[in-house]
Structure 1
């Protein structure tokens, strides 16, 4: 995902112990032959965890920060975030006039999109529901597109191999190996035959292969948590990589934090 869709966040990302490499093929032998042999010195390239793809960051704004500070220049000055406001959130229905003044980047529409505002004036539950429904439809499309193909290896595995030894396994070879898989080709062919929004994204292959409910929950939670989160006290939460396990860990942390914020806490969505 990180090399196929979006821009890796290196400023706010973090590193954790690398993903396990794929086990080597083992030939069938007798039970005695499978016992571990005496340890010999080997020189294997260390595994590398690719940086995560961070397209949208949720910023929890300090109470004392004035509304005039929500410009690209001030975002960089106040939070060290180089980005622009993005209308990720939905405002609750029937905002009063004085409540509209508390919204950030409010636009016309039903629901009305905005870049942020107090939690009590954001329709977070509606966003989660809509994202889950949309993900369910996309999953059905994906399931039909890849019917009959075998499970494929997700992109982060190939990217990790490339980063571990760029000379022996260049990026071009990693990309070619990923795209040569029948399931990935089926997704690409479907997108080519029916171009437009809502097409299965090869960067989400691991999420699709985890099953329909996992895919729906993943997008429902990502709808309000984005790809990274900056807490009101300045802590940065982000996945360690684009691997599903790391994404799930981030969503758990972000949702746990968002569940504790007060109704008056202001949230802001920033596109990086």
Structure 2
């Protein structure tokens, strides 16, 4: 999830970095399933995190195939941390994410009706990092929060709990329109925030700006679209 300045207690690091909450790892064939435990992630991939039940297991999976999955849970859909691509319901994940995004965008449109488009947080953060003395972090945060559209969203979130809240970190994606937000949500459902390829290369957006996120999603989706059905994917929460 992208940064939310309303919850930050301290100024950001001197070098801006993208928000990476979940990473997808393409697992090499020579790594046995038993070695892919949480405490082995750093050793094998240089990633410090825990297995994340992000993927949906295919409803057509046979009982004998369940042993190939990582952290498979009961339910429908059955969540898991990963497994062979052919045993993951990536299409179902993208479709569900798109439908949910359409509903959220409709709510967003109602919440911000009558307000002007707002400047996203990363613009203020970049200006602050370029000259922290002349443009302090507190000033940047205040300028962001004083925008009527941002206040409309914050007021809605203050009166709403759970999934009904609107993520301020996705403001730029919301403002790009309903279809753009649906596509962004659908692709992110599978590609998450970053990806490690089978060769060990890391793909990630250069920043939290939508243009950089789109570039990452283009690269990740192209890679995942042509991936071998037997390739194992693993979701890691950082």
TM-score normalised by L of structure 2: 0.94
Whole-angstrom distance in 2 between the partners of 1:167 and 1:266: 48
Aligned partner of residue 207 in structure 1, secondary structure: helix
Partner of 2:198: 232
The farther-off stretch of 210-219 and 89-98 is 89-98
Q: Does 1:219 align with 2:220?
A: no
Residues 260 and 94 from structure 1, CA distance in 2 versus in 1: closer, same or farther, beyond 3 angstroms? closer
The count of aligned residue pairs is 232
1:173-211 CA distance string (max 9 Å, x none): 111111110000000101112222131111111001100
Aligned pairs (5 A) from 1:7-156: 50-156=16-122
Contact 1:2–1:51 (CA under 8 A) maintained in structure 2:
no
Partner of 1:2: 3
Larger radius of gyration: 1
Q: Which has the higher helix share?
A: 2
Structure 1: runs of 5 or more not aligned: 8-47
Aligned partner of residue 68 in structure 2, secondary structure: coil
Structure 2: runs of 5 or more not aligned: 9-13
Whole-angstrom distance in 1 between the partners of 2:96 and 2:85: 18
Q: Does 1:192 align with 2:191?
A: no
Contact 2:4–2:168 (CA under 8 A) maintained in structure 1:
no
Whole-angstrom distance in 2 between the partners of 1:49 and 1:224: 28
**CA-CA distance at 1:260 after TM superposition:** 1.7
Aligned partner of residue 101 in structure 1, secondary structure: helix
Contact 2:16–2:129 (CA under 8 A) maintained in structure 1:
yes
Contact 2:27–2:233 (CA under 8 A) maintained in structure 1:
yes
Residues 198 and 175 from structure 1, CA distance in 2 versus in 1: closer, same or farther, beyond 3 angstroms? same
Partner of 2:137: 171
Partner of 1:249: 215
**CA-CA distance at 1:3 after TM superposition:** 5.2
Partner of 1:269: 235
Whole-angstrom distance in 2 between the partners of 1:150 and 1:78: 48
**CA-CA distance at 1:49 after TM superposition:** 7.3
Aligned partner of residue 268 in structure 1, secondary structure: strand
> Hey, which bits of structure 1, 4+ residues long, moved more than 6 A?
none
Contact 1:135–1:216 (CA under 8 A) maintained in structure 2:
yes
Whole-angstrom distance in 2 between the partners of 1:120 and 1:73: 26
Partner of 2:11: none
